[in-house]
């Protein structure tokens, strides 16, 4: 995967069973490292519905994106587990 040198880089992820929300990973370069902000946003307005996490100090933009997607998945999986235990 090739990244341009323009930051921030935003990647959107469709969420299963929810046509109104998206996952968003926003990758920024800070000096020699990369950070990823992980949010769930409203599909139409792009306003933040839920801030999930921030990943700091990754060695590449691609790695920051991969770890960001993993954190989003962990968060969504934890919601499923919580709803199954109620």
Q: For a pLDDT cut of 70, what percent of the chain falls above it?
A: 93
Q: Where are the domains of the chain?
A: 9-84
What is the C-alpha separation between 86 and 75, in angstroms, rounded?
A: 17
3-state helix, strand, coil split of the chain in percent (to 5) is: 30, 45, 30
Given a cut of 80, whether residue 72 has pLDDT beyond it is yes
Tens digits of residue pLDDT in 5-44? 689 999 999 998 899 999 999 999 999 999 999 999 999 9
Could you tell me which residues come within 8 angstroms of residue 48 by beta carbon, excluding any fewer than 6 positions away? 39, 40, 41
pTM: 0.87
At residue 70, the pLDDT reads: 97
């Amino acid at each position: 995967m090739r990244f341009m040198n323009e930051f921030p880089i935003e990647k959107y992820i469709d969420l299963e069973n929810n046509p109104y929300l998206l996952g968003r990973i926003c990758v920024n370069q800070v000096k020699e490292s990369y950070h990823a902000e992980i949010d769930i946003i409203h599909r139409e307005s792009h306003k933040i519905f839920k801030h999930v996490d921030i990943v700091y100090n990754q060695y590449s933009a691609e790695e920051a994106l991969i770890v960001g997607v993993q954190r989003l998945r962990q968060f969504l999986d934890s919601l499923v587990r919580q709803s199954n235990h109620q």
